[in-house]
């Protein structure tokens, strides 16, 4: 059900030091690092993300990604969310900067959180 989730941090460097250490003890490490976002997990599977946050305090949105069976289900998720009045953050599309086959759509839930549906096996092109 949950593909990955993320939190926003007011001091990314301090949070990175913290999570590098405490998650390292548990056997997890940095799997991806985009400078403004760092994904932790194992074997190329970043399931927990921390990101820089420069918005108003103390509120910080949470990011949750739900696993979808395929690109068709990602599109259906996005369409269903919009039918309920959700704000579209990103239309369904391939995200090759994440990895080949990553297909996701992002919406804002009623409380302002960033909610995504994603599949990892979408055909390229």
Can you count the helices (H) and strands (E) in the chain? Answer: 2, 8
Quote the strand ranges of 1-125, DSSP E: 2-9, 29-33, 37-42, 45-52, 63-67, 87-94, 103-108, 114-119
Q: What's 71's domain CATH number? A: 3.10.180.10
pTM more than 0.95:
no
With a cut of 70, which residues of the chain have pLDDT below it?
125
CA 114, CA 61: separation in Å to the nearest integer?
A: 7
**Residues 92, 47 share a domain:** no
pLDDT digit string, tens, across residues 27-47: 999 999 999 999 999 999 999
Query: Domain span at residue 125?
Result: 61-125
65 in the same domain as 45: no
């Amino acid at each position: 059900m949950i593909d990955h989730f993320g939190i926003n941090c007011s001091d990314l460097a301090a949070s990175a030091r913290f999570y590098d250490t405490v998650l390292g003890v548990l056997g997890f490490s940095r799997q991806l690092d985009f400078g403004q976002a760092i994904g932790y997990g194992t074997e190329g599977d970043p399931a927990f993300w921390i990101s820089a946050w420069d918005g108003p305090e103390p509120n910080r949105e949470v990011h949750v990604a739900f696993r979808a069976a395929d690109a068709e289900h990602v599109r259906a998720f996005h369409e269903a969310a919009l039918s309920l009045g959700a704000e579209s953050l990103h239309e369904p599309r391939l995200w090759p900067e994440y990895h080949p086959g990553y297909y996701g759509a992002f919406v804002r839930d009623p409380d302002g959180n960033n909610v995504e549906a994603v599949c990892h096996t979408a055909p390229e092109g």
